[in-house]
Amino acid sequence: MSYSVEYLKRLLKAVDNFEVKFADWMTTQVESDHNNSCGIFPTVWPKEGVSASQIDKKELALAEAAGLACSAVKVTGAYIVVAGMGTLDPIANWSMMSQPKALFAPRDIRLTVANVKGRLEGMIFDAEACESNDIPPFSPANLHPLIWKAAAPQWTIHQYRVAVSEAAGALTNYWRDRLGRKDVDGTKFWQQSLSPEPPIPGKPRLVWPGDSTDKTVKGMKSGLPMLTVSLKDLAAGLCLVSRNASAHAQRTVNEQEGMEQLAAYSFLARLLDQCEIKSADKTIPNK
């Protein structure tokens, strides 16, 4: 999905408004952090001498602003990874700071806001350039959901090589589960699952649907296994590099390279979504 310049600017304005309302609400709160709260107490609590009605008024204004701004985190992918909880949106969940075992501290909210604003400004710049050049904008958050969900935690902290590796592993593991193939992994799994040979008991195949006499169907059926194995080899190579400390120090993946690699996996994931699962005794249309 592409985002217009106007939409991105509206999001940026909403985040600016959230930032103002958050600062205003914080004037009524005592600010702490996870170290001082020992991980079991809130990271904010009401200041003495501030009336409950004053706090409620500012809190409601902040909640409304958060509702308008939280879409910006989804658009930019600026989530925070919380141990045991996965990826969370700090803007949408700002109120968790007032609860025991607070997941966020005020510093987390401010850093997220700054991160989102920076990313939105970059996306606006790119979208404006695309509008003038008729080039569509690109956001990794619009990739296949399976790929982006796996990549997002590492992508948002700029670990692009690891993000691609996580996406590659997630795609393989997803289809191993769907096909019940815990007995093999990696390249062998893809070679067997996308083999043009008929399925045998215990080894189902992923097959492009349609009549093989159709030229398009025939091309897809012959090309998909080669594409899959090539991408799997890429993932294997990334894993090998990550295990080699010296090679890792010398070779990193930048954001542009990471986007291109994730896009390749996303394309493959969408192709696989259209395949049928064919076992020795039945064919299951993919959903």
pLDDT tens track for 57-92? 999 999 999 999 989 998 998 888 887 888 899 999
pLDDT (average), residues 127-148: 75
Tokens of 53: 């009605």
pTM listed for this prediction: 0.52
In this structure, how many other beta carbons lie within 10 angstroms of the beta carbon of residue 218? 14
- Gap between the Cα atoms of 128 and 280, Å rounded: 53
pLDDT of 248 strictly over 50: no
Contact 188/257 with Cβ under 8 angstroms?
Answer: no
Tokens of 238: 């990334």
pLDDT tens track for 259-281? 888 998 898 889 889 888 988 87
pLDDT at 77: 87
Q: How far is CA 100 from CA 46, 51, 84, 96, in A?
A: 14, 22, 16, 8
Contact 262/163 with Cβ under 8 angstroms?
Answer: yes
pLDDT at 224: 66
- Confidence at 118, pLDDT banded by 50, 70, 90: very high
* DSSP character string of the chain: ----HHHHHHHHHHHHHHHHHHHHHHTTEEE--TTTTTTTS-SEEEPTT--HHHHHHHHHHHHHHHHHHTHHHHHHT--EEETTTEEE-TTTTGGGGGSSS-S--HHHHHHHHHHHHHHHHHHHHHHHHHHHHT-----GGGS-HHHHHHHHHHHTTT-HHHHHHHHHHHHHHHHHHHHT-TT--HHHHHHHHT-SSPPBTTB-EEE--S-TTSHHHHHHHHHHHHHHHHHHHHHHHHHHHHH-HHHHHH----HHHHHHHHHHHHHHHHHHHT-EEE-SS-EE---
pLDDT tens track for 174-223? 999 999 998 987 778 888 888 878 888 889 988 877 766 667 767 766 77
- Gap between the Cα atoms of 252 and 158, Å rounded: 11
pLDDT of 246 strictly over 50: no
- Confidence at 46, pLDDT banded by 50, 70, 90: very high
What residues have CB less than 8 Å from 230, skipping those under 6 apart?
Answer: none
Could you tell me which residue, 194 or 100, shows the higher pLDDT? 100
- Gap between the Cα atoms of 255 and 119, Å rounded: 13
Listed range (15-19, 86-90, 238-242) with the worst mean pLDDT: 238-242
pLDDT (average), residues 123-151: 78
